[in-house]
A and B are shown apart, each in its own frame.
Chain A
Amino acid sequence: MPGIRTRLALTITGFGLLLIAALATGPLIGSTHISLARVFDRSIPFADNADAQIFFIARLPRVLAAALVGAALAAAGVVFQALLRNPLATPDTLGVSSGAALGAMLAITFHFNFAVLGIASIPLASFAGSIGALGIVYALASARRRGLSSIVLLLAGVTMTAFFQALILFTQYLADFADTFRTVRWLMGTLDVGSYAPILAALPIVLVAFGMLATLPRSLDLISLGADAAAARGVNVLAAERLALASASLATGAAVSLAGPVGFIGLVVPHLVRLVVGSDHRLVLPASALFGAAFLIACDAVARTIWSSGELPVGIVTALIGGPFFLWLLVRK
């Protein structure tokens, strides 16, 4: 087998090309056929160029949102799996997603009406919810002893998820019919972002998270074999775990605030990637980010075209693919 340098170059090139292909074809797929030549034809004014309008206003923001959300959720999934030493962990496992969902539910139901730096109240509230959930779970897991206990982290996360779900149901129970409809739609997960503004708001957060993650893959390899063993190999375990938890939660929070809780990406993508590149996190992490982006673009293309009378929320598509895949994963070993 070639060395890590060669494998890393091959991995980035291969999955990078896949993402470029997805980015290039994604905006061309949809219920209306558009011509790429007409889209970029400068001789037609934009106001009269229906193809360009569909391309730049309807489809490109969706494709870019899909790429950002897919990359963030897939990378977060890899990190949570390594951190919890459990290949079935997902960005939802620690309650970050449901915290974000609760934030959005409260914003919709109680008509929070504010904006910060042009970012609307729903994404803001859901981001705050995800960070709040992380804070609670982190405090629980580090309360009992120095260092984080992965088993307490896991149990606290699962419990907080159930608790947040109860609060979400309670919020929905209080809401009127129209608001309930909106909250249910939000919970399905959709990439219909409408403009570039929410993408630009989420982008810096995801980039910061990825920057933090870039220092971590080798530490994650070692931590997955056990905290004490990793420490004896020279890993500063507590610092690495905190950084991993913070960055994966930031990425998840940003993704969920942009698209709602799109499920299964953080589970399916890392596993598919491991089948190709093995388990070394220096390969799995970048490959999952790239493939997650491409995968969600493809899922969204399916969501936009499979239903003749309209568009499906992409969360339904990922769940329909992800559920059976999850079961296959359980039975395979």
Chain B
Amino acid sequence: MLLAERVSYRYRAGDRLVVDDVSLTVAAGDLVGILGPNGSGKTTLLKMLSGTLAPSSGAITFDRRPLTDWKRRDLARRIALVPQETHAPFDFTVLDIVLMGRFPHLGTFALEGPADLTIAQQALASTGTSAFEQRPFATLSGGEKQRVVIASALAQSPELLLLDEPTASLDLGHQLDVELLLAGLNRDRGVTMVLSTHDLNLAAALCRQLILLRDGRVIAQGPTDEVLTPAAVRALYGVEADVHRHPVAGHLTVTPLARVP
């Protein structure tokens, strides 16, 4: 579905590469996690995968066509991006925000009709945010905002959803809400996902494939159970960790033990 070949990015000529020679494949139905310390190039990579940032070198194809050949609007009907944080400077209601997801499906002067409203309300329902429909977006809590922005991305009716640290700055309850929401969307609606995160346990619980990035380079990629090892955690974060399969949850869990000197 999505294929990146030897992709690199630098912000300005002469700067260091923020993303350095990354190749990856995302198959339909996949759930891929990108792990890496702060500044490892996760967000830049996601922006390139969404087509909003052109790689300095290398190529990305979606549906066998290079992203650069896609019209913005056509691409937005297939790929949606959920940014790390969304700040609304004006008093949009939750429904306003979700309806904006319909943008790529409408012409320049077209207004949303009943069909678009139905899609938006389904997106609200599937993210458990129907109750806030008429509330101002700015009055929601962080976790509620994140779910509304995911609903807005779902209203785009995408096949591929890219999420930049979807659980950053959420409390444990909201983290679990988002985790279950994403797992459900992938399982029940077949939405393919690529997400970046700092939360190793979230990645272990949710993602079937992992890509480990350090200083813009891939240091390991493959099935979660093979890639998420104490050696990988040490290489990524400089932390000695215990990695074990949780007896109840069934997935790997990571417990940091000590800083590597």
Contact = CB atoms under 8 A, between A and B. Distances in A.
Interface string A208-248: 00000011001001101110110111111000000000000
Nearest to A84: B89
A233 B100 contact: yes
Given A279-B96, A280-B96, A282-B111, A234 B89 contact: no
B88 A1 contact: no
B111 A8 contact: yes
Interface of A: 1, 3-5, 8, 81-82, 85-87, 145, 214-215, 218, 221-222, 224-226, 228-229, 231-236, 274, 278-280, 282
Given A145-B11, A234-B77, A278-B91, A218 B103 contact: yes
A224 B156 contact: no
Contacts of B134: 1
B191 to A, nearest CB: 15
Interface of B: 11-12, 47, 50-52, 72-77, 79-81, 83, 86-93, 95-97, 99-101, 103-104, 106, 108-109, 111-114, 117, 134, 156, 162
A229 B101 contact: no
B104 A226 contact: no
Given A4-B111, A145-B11, A278-B96, A235 B81 contact: no
A154 B92 CA distance: 23
Contact of A234 (B96, B104, B112, B117): B104
B104 A233 contact: yes
B89 A221 contact: no
Contacts, number: 96
Given A8-B111, A221-B100, A232 B90 contact: no
A1 B135 CA distance: 12
A228 B96 contact: no
Given A4-B99, A228-B83, A233-B80, 8 more contacts: A3-B112, A81-B89, A81-B90, A225-B97, A232-B50, A232-B51, A234-B73, A235-B103
A228 B52 contact: yes
B233 to A, nearest CB: 30
Contact of A215 (B72, B103, B108): B108
A294 B100 CA distance: 30
Contacts of B72: 231, 234-236
A274 B80 CA distance: 29
A232 B76 contact: yes
Nearest to A89: B89
Most chain A beta-carbon neighbours within 10 Å: one of B111, B134, B162: B111
Contact of B103 (A85, A145, A222): A222
Contacts of A86: 89
Contacts of B73: 234
